[in-house]
Chain A
Amino acid sequence: MVAMAYPKTWMGSEEADNDMALVERALDQDLAAFEALVARYQNRIIAYAARMLNDHDEAEDVAQEVFIKAYRSLESFRAESSFSTWLYRIATNLCIDRARKRKRSPQQAYSLDEPFDKEEERGGRDVPDLTQEPSRGVEREELRQQVRLTVAEMPDKLRAVLVMCDIQGMAYEQIAQTLGCPIGTVKSRLFHARADLARRLRLRP
């Protein structure tokens, strides 16, 4: 059994230096510099929010809010962490806020039939090719749906760590910085999230 090489390096120091230069330019009223920062991170932030919230449209809303907050607070960015870490921190807080509001409002059932992205042009669920190996294709699709459902139902803290590490490939150090907790806590949460997911998959019909 070959293990995956986690955690992997996520961002180089050169990219971080470049981010700082763009932040400085944005602070000097250079909107193009801020646009460059948005272009660099928008897909990652939206992907993160989409996995956290299980809703692409809401993820775009959250991502807009993340960049607006970042823009408004750009002066307070001290480069104690990387710009991407700072964005992820804002995104995590906003996603957790949204998830709490959802819990307070009437619960929307998660439909396994509904396409993840709702709109066809954004790409719906991956439809397995059943012509070759029908039983394996169905089984694989069931597995995927069970994974999505379990991740969606996980406690926010476990889900955040799982999405950052196992979906987005962030290193433990960066996750710890983003969440403001020790690396040991990140590892512990990740272990419980993975084990929970594994047990749920085992129970599937």
Chain B
Amino acid sequence: MKKLKNDDMMGYLDGTLDAARLAEVEAYLQTDAEDARLLADMKLAMNELHAWDEAEPVRVSDNFWPALRDKLPQRPQRSWLRGASAQLSAWLWPAHSPLRLSARVAAIAVFVALAASFLSPKDAVRNTHATELTSADKTFIQQSLARHDAYVTSQSLSSVLPLRNSDGRDGDGDGGDDDGDDYTP
């Protein structure tokens, strides 16, 4: 068997090795006096530490709380958010209520469902098309189209844009509300 690992030694000292591993470690310790002595000394140290509290119990002095109470700063203040949350929580599910865990699970489930419905990919796509123009943008576009139509009319473009004339447009600027889908350069 190879040299003992630290984990094995700790498991041996803590008594957490399974029976098979414990037998292997004990067999190994028969062959390695150095490790066996180290473990024995560690065990002795642990026992001494364990007995320390019993031999010299540390107890608080009688004056501890009165002295502490006098030194305490202003009382802790609960923020309004935490206060409201605690009140709501206490109202919904009192401490030690058997329904407390189920109520929490239900609340989390409702929250997740609502979040999922708001953040679904469908909504995400819809939202990307939902950008609306401001009235200033609309005015600017209308004015630009009107000026463009006026320019086209002034330049007598009948030969350049036969399609628009064939559609019956007179090019007097009324086409400003054209949505531009049939624009042909």
Q: Do A and B make up one complex? A: yes
Q: B residues within 8 Å of A by Cβ?
A: 6-7, 9-10, 12-16, 37-38, 41-50, 52-53, 55-61, 64-65, 67-69, 71-73, 75-79, 82, 86, 95-96
Pairwise interchain contact B14-A6, C-beta atoms closer than 8 A: yes
* Given A188-B6, A199-B41, A201-B41, A50-B67 contact (CB < 8 Å): no
Chain A residues whose CB sits within 8 angstroms of the CB of B47 once the complex forms: 4
Whether, in the assembled complex, A112 has its beta carbon less than 8 Å from a beta carbon of chain B, the answer is no
A67 at the A/B interface (Cβ < 8 Å)?
A: yes
Instruction: Using A43-B58, A201-B44, A202-B41 as known contacts, say yes or no to A162 and B68 having CB atoms under 8 A apart.
Output: no
The answer to whether A7 touches B14 (Cβ under 8 A) is yes
Least CB distance from A160 to B in Å reads 13
The docked-state distance in angstroms from the alpha carbon of A199 to that of B43 is: 12
A138 located at the interface, meaning its Cβ lies under 8 Å from any Cβ of chain B in the complex: no
21 contacts between A and B (CB under 8 A): A4-B13, A26-B76, A27-B82, A29-B75, A42-B64, A47-B57, A47-B58, A50-B58, A51-B52, A60-B60, A68-B73, A71-B76, A72-B76, A123-B56, A126-B55, A162-B49, A168-B53, A191-B10, A194-B42, A197-B49, A198-B42
Q: Are B59 and A35 in contact (CB under 8 A)?
A: no
Give the total number of A-B pairs whose CB atoms are below 8 A apart: 146
Chain A residues lying within 8 Å of B64, measured Cβ to Cβ, are 38, 42, 46, 60, 63-64
A-side interface residues toward B, CB under 8 Å? 1-7, 17, 21, 24, 26-29, 31, 34-35, 38-39, 42-43, 46-47, 50-51, 56, 59-60, 63-64, 67-68, 71-75, 116-117, 122-123, 125-126, 143-144, 147-148, 151, 162, 166-168, 187-188, 190-191, 194-195, 197-199, 201-202
